[in-house]
Amino acid sequence: MAGRGMTPDASLPIPRDRYGFKKRSQNITVEEYDKWNGPYTEYLERRKVKWVALMKQYGLSTENPIRFPPKSDKVKRFIRKGVPPEWRGNAWFWYAGGPALLARHHGLYWDLIERVHNGEVSDTDRDAIERDLNRTFPDNIKFKPDLPMSSRQSSGFPADLKADSETPILRALRRVLQAFAIHNPHIGYCQSLNFLAGFLLLFLDEDEEKAFIMLNKMTNIYLPGTHGRVLEANIDIGVLMSCVRESMPAIWAKIDDTEDIAASTGSSRSSGPARLPTVSLSTTAWFMSCFLGSLPIETVVRVWDTLFYEGSRTLFRIALAIFKLGEPEIRAVHDNSEVFQIVQTIPRKLIDANILMQTPKRSRDARTVDVQKDPAPKSRFKRSISRKRGKLV
Amino acid sequence: MASRVQQGGRPGGSRFSQFKLVLLGESAVGKSSLVLRFVKDQFDDYRESTIGAAFLTQTIALDETTTVKFEIWDTAGQERYKSLAPMYYRNANCAVVVYDISQASSLDKAKAWVKELQRQANENIIIALAGNKLDLVTENPDKRAIPTADAEQYAKEAGLLFFETSAKTSENVKELFTAIAKKLPLDQGGPRNIRSGPRQGVDLRPEASSTVGASGCNC
């Protein structure tokens, strides 16, 4: 079978969404996308009218606004229902405290770029970044433009065309990742930062300085340690798994294979991350990439709307909501390997962001959400996790 | 310790076994592409980097009566993910360690993975070494950085299966996984231990806890 570039419809333009991503993914067809997108587009128009009214109420501009209303319960509801797509990047930057961060670190990014030019990026980080540049959003037109019809019909990509095809956003991505690696020696470059930074550039009009500021905030405030040279991603997973165990016991009963693992590997090796259930491997990327690649793009942007407004508890709330929405499917399986497949596939099919954002409804699950309302959930959890990891996971 | 095998009878006396396979190797050597070729018979020139791990399954028929299902964990290649690696390879029956025949350093990484697996993983694990991107060398022999004989020699010494593969052209991809399947202990070991708990329907497999203790196959 031929690669995607050689499929029979190569002569037609590739159907793309409002952000330039291919509508089709492994789990969603163009038809499914269009069926959902019609009503969703009307929803976005209705929300835009409400947003315009809200902005006017606060005397704020509605033409490419850079300032947004102060936080309140009402604004939080508005955010959860989605920021208008064309204002999205500016709203993210505003609610993440971008303007103040930019003022505080005035000139920092360009100093770092100077240091990049002086060769301060380590060979390891430089090499790892290069390996990932072309593997960042190849489905987005700004990262990987459609080739002219003539070359699309030939087999593969001629070498010379490949070299020329580096787009401005890819060059910006390289600079942001290199500057970040110098500024954050405890992280350097970690796979998944390419997606975070690339997505920020896409929504911030390729403003590298803003993307850099936001990437710093995401990796140091929302997900401290997760991307570090000593990868702490399994701490996020440990927190998530303990929440699942406490709030969704029926799911936990299905996914908990830690006893089996302990029995087969011998107790000497069963401490630490090895005690996490196998299914948690499917969830590593949820945190590291803030759901990019796991949820459909339109759902990711809705999660990020809330992430920059409410902080890291959003990531845990969404992760739990995914398990909650998948509960009927997970409870129906009889074989672990099906559980892995289902937990991996559930988020990829969640094209309707509204359903995800509204889960859980006020119910007994509300307790779970309240846990996440702690002002510094992760740092607190981290401490408690390291204290009681043995019995927790 | 025996393997994590599920065997079930099927009408006509056919055999069905299930094995956990893990893919390891340096970043961008083509681990995900090998799996995509094997599982979906597809290839993308540009494939997104794998974050964390991806899970896929593929079932192959070894002969008319023998079916093998692979549960495949495809992992991220970057060095720092190594701290998560034990989660991937615990209980694995087999591993494919991948390197890029056009990148000399990638074989060193592969050797380090083999060493770790032989030290830390299931002691009966079957390991295959795959030198990927054979298509690059077919197009332009100058691109080869690792002579076939060198890798083959190493594989022999370390007791590994060895193939040079191309996920792009599909050369040797099926052969690689079939060779692994043939080496797996289809006849020994008990059922894969699926967590005890209420099961619906009639379970025809022998009870894990009572039968596997002696052979040690309990995973």
Q: Is residue A378's pLDDT more than 60?
A: no
* Bridge-based pairing state of the strands B53-63 and B66-75: antiparallel
Distance from CA of B75 to the nearest CA of A (A): 9
Q: What is the pLDDT of residues A35-48, one digit of tens each?
A: 999 999 999 999 99
Name which of A254-268, A297-311, B37-51 the model is least confident about. A254-268
Contact call for B83 and A231, based on CB within 8 A: yes
Please enumerate in sequence order all residues whose Cβ is within 8 A of that of B156, keeping only pairs 6 or more positions apart, or say none: B162
Q: Which residues of B touch A7 (CB under 8 A)?
A: none
Task: Tell me which of B48, B100, B210 to substitute to probe the interface with A (most A C-beta atoms closer than 10 Å).
Answer: B48
CA distance B43 to B4: 30
CA distance A31 to B26: 37
Contact call for A131 and B27, based on CB within 8 A: yes
CB B2 within 8 A of CB B185: yes
Q: Is residue A89's pLDDT more than 60?
A: yes
Q: What is the pLDDT of residue B11?
A: 54
Q: Is residue A322's pLDDT more than 70?
A: yes
Mean pLDDT on A254-267: 74
CB B89 within 8 A of CB B117: yes
Mean pLDDT on B120-144: 96
Q: What is the pLDDT of residue A161?
A: 47
Q: What is the pLDDT of residue B218?
A: 38
Q: What is the pLDDT of residue A375?
A: 39
Name which of A148-162, A261-275, A338-352 the model is least confident about. A148-162
Contact call for A263 and B48, based on CB within 8 A: no
Which residues in chain B (91-110) have CB-CB distances under 8 A to chain A? Answer: 91
Q: What is the pLDDT of residue B142?
A: 96
CA distance B211 to B189: 10
Task: Tell me which of A157, A160, A191, A339 to substitute to probe the interface with B (most B C-beta atoms closer than 10 Å).
Answer: A191
Q: Is residue A165's pLDDT more than 90?
A: no
Phi-psi region of A290 (alpha: psi -120 to 50; beta: other; left: phi over 0): left
Tokens of B44: 């993308």
Q: Which residues of A touch B27 (CB under 8 A)?
A: 128, 131-132, 191
Which of residues A269 and A309 earns the better pLDDT score? A309
Mean pLDDT on A90-115: 98
Provide the percentage of residues in chain A whose pLDDT is more than 90.
Answer: 70
Q: What is the pLDDT of residue B117?
A: 96
Name which of A120-129, A254-263, A289-298, B187-196 the model is least confident about. B187-196
CA distance A387 to A81: 38
Residues paired with residue B23 on neighbouring β-strands, in sequence order: B74, B96
Phi-psi region of A388 (alpha: psi -120 to 50; beta: other; left: phi over 0): alpha
Residue of B nearest to A332 (CA): B200
Q: Is residue B183's pLDDT more than 60?
A: yes
State whether ipTM is beyond 0.90: no
Name which of A30-44, A47-61, B64-78, B197-211 the model is least confident about. B197-211
CA distance A87 to A85: 5
Residue of B nearest to A186 (CA): B80
pTM: 0.86
Question: How many CB atoms neighbour CB A23 within 10 A?
Answer: 19
Give the CA-trace dihedral at A349, A355, A358, A361, to 10 degrees: -100
Report helix, strand or coil for B194.
coil
Q: Which residues of B touch A274 (CB under 8 A)?
A: 86-87, 90
Query: Which DSSP category does B190 fall into?
Result: -
Q: Is residue A343's pLDDT more than 80?
A: yes
* Bridge-based pairing state of the strands B126-132 and B161-164: parallel
Q: Most distant CA pair in chain B: distance in Å?
A: 60
Which residues in chain B (187-206) have CB-CB distances under 8 A to chain A? Answer: 193-195, 197, 199-201
Q: Which residues of A touch B51 (CB under 8 A)?
A: 191-192, 195, 284-285, 288-289, 293
CB A20 within 8 A of CB A141: yes
Q: Is residue A84's pLDDT more than 90?
A: yes
Identity at A321, one-letter amino acid code: A
Q: Is residue B103's pLDDT more than 50?
A: yes
